[in-house]
Structure 1
Amino acid sequence: MAEVLGPGEWLGSELRGDDSWRIRLTEAHRREVLAAVHAAGREVSRESFRLPTLGPVLRRVRDELTHGRGFVLLQGVPVEGLSERQCETVALGLASHVGGIVPQGPEGAPVMHVRDTGADPSHARTKSYQHSGRLGYHSDPTDVVALLCVRPAKSGGLSAVVSSVAVHNEVVRTRPDLAEVLYEPWWHDRRTGDGPDSFYTKPICAARPGGGVSIAYGPDYLRSAQRGATVPPFTRAQEEAMSLLDDLTNDARFTLTMDLRPGDLQFLNNHVTLHSRTAYEDHPEPSRRRHLLRLWLTT
Structure 2
Amino acid sequence: MTPVYRQIIDHPSAWTRRSLGGDGPLRRRLTAAELDGVDRLLDATAHLAPQQATRADFDHPAVNALMAGLRDEIMHGRGAVIVEGLDPGRYDAERLERIYWGLGTHLGIGAAQSARGDRLGYVQNQADDEVKRGYRSLRELHMHTDSYELVGLMCVRKAKSGGLSGLVSGLALHNEILRTRPELLEPLYRGYRYASDEARFSSKAITDEAIPAFCAVDGVVSCCYEPAHMKNAAQYLGEPLPADLAQACDYFDELSMRDDLALRLQLQPGEFMLWHNYICLHSRTAFEDDPQQRRLLLRLWLSVPDGRPVDPAFRIRAETYERIYREARARAA
- 2:74 maps to 1:61: no
Distance 1:143 1:232, change over 3 A: same
Selected match of 1:30 from 27, 31, 35? 35
In structure 2, the residue corresponding to 1:103 is in which secondary structure?
coil
Q: Quick check: 1:232 aligned with 2:239?
A: yes
2:99 is the counterpart of 1:117: no
- 1:283 paired with 2:290, answer yes
Map 1:8-27 → 2, pairs under 5 A: 8-17=13-22, 19-27=24-32
- 1:199 and 2:215 aligned: no
Task: For 1:78 and 1:50, locate their aligned partners in 2 and report how far apart those are by CA, in whole Å.
Answer: 21
Q: Post-superposition shift, 1:99?
A: 2.2
Q: What is the SS of the residue equivalent to 1:147?
A: strand
Q: Which residue of 2 aligns with 1:264?
A: 271
Q: Report the alpha carbon displacement of residue 244 of structure 1 after superposing the two structures with TM.
A: 0.3
Query: Which one has the bigger helix percentage?
Result: 2
CA contact (8 A) 2:145 2:225 kept: yes
Give, in whole Å, the separation in 2 of the partners of 1:261 and 1:108: 27
CA distance in 2, matches of 1:108, 1:189: 19
Corresponding position of 2:183: 177
Deviation at 1:20, TM superposition (A): 2.5
Identity of aligned residues (%): 33
* Separation (CA, whole Å) in 1 of partners of 2:243 and 2:128: 32
Query: Quick one: which amino acid aligns to residue 105 of structure 1?
Result: S
Q: How far did residue 32 of structure 1 move?
A: 2.2
Q: What code does the residue aligned with 1:113 have?
A: Y
* Equivalent-residue separation in structure 1 for 2:23 and 2:142 (angstroms): 25
Superimposed CA distance per residue, residues 202-235 of structure 1 (whole angstroms, 9 cap, x where no aligned partner) = 1111123x3211211123333333331x253112
TM (normalized to structure 2)?
Answer: 0.82
Matched, 1:74 2:83: yes
Q: What is the distance in 1 between the residues matched to 2:287 and 2:21?
A: 23
More strand by share: 1
Shift of 1:33: 1.4
Separation in structure 1 between the aligned mates of residue 234 and residue 274 of structure 2, nearest angstrom: 31
Contact 1:139 1:216 in 2 (8 A): yes
C-alpha distance 17-110 of structure 1, shift in aligned 2 (>3 A): closer
Specify every segment of 5 or more residues in structure 2 that has no aligned partner in the other structure, as ranges. Answer: 305-333
Counterpart position of 2:196: 190
Instruction: Identify which of 226, 229, 237 aligns with 1:221.
Output: 229
Name the aligned partner's letter for residue 253 of structure 1.
Answer: D
Structure 1: which amino acid aligns with 2:176?
Answer: E
Query: Does the 8 A contact of 1:135 with 1:220 survive in 2?
Result: no
What SS is found at the alignment partner of 1:198?
coil
Per-residue Cα deviation, 1:83-136 (whole angstroms, up to 9, x for no partner): 54333211110111222222321233221100011258xx7x321101011111
Aligned-partner Cα distance in 2 for 1:253–1:177: 23
**Aligned residue-pair number:** 292
Q: Secondary structure at the match of 2:156?
A: strand
User: Are 1:244 and 2:261 matched, yes or no?
Assistant: no
- On the 8 A contact 1:136/1:220 being kept in 2, the answer is no
1:49 is the counterpart of 2:55: no
Measure, in 1, the Cα distance between the counterparts of 2:120 and 2:16: 31
Counterpart of 1:149 in structure 2 is 155
The Cα shift of 1:284 comes to 2.0
Larger mean CA deviation between 146-155 and 189-198 belongs to 189-198
The answer (yes or no) to whether the contact 1:30–1:78 under 8 Å persists in 2 is no
Classify the secondary structure of the residue corresponding to 2:192.
Answer: strand
Distance 1:16 1:170 in 2: 18
Are residues 1:160 and 2:169 paired? no
Q: What is the TM-score when the length of structure 1 is the normalising length?
A: 0.91
Q: Within 2, Cα distance between the matches of 1:167 and 1:47?
A: 39
Letter in 1 for 2:42: V
Aligned position for 2:101: 92
Alignment CA distance shift 1:205-1:160 (3 Å): same
Secondary structure at the residue paired with 1:30? helix
Query: What is the rounded CA distance, in whole Å, between the counterparts of 2:71 and 2:188 in structure 1?
Result: 28
**Which residue is 1:128 aligned to?**
134
Contact (CA 8 Å) 2:168, 2:281: kept in 1 or not? yes
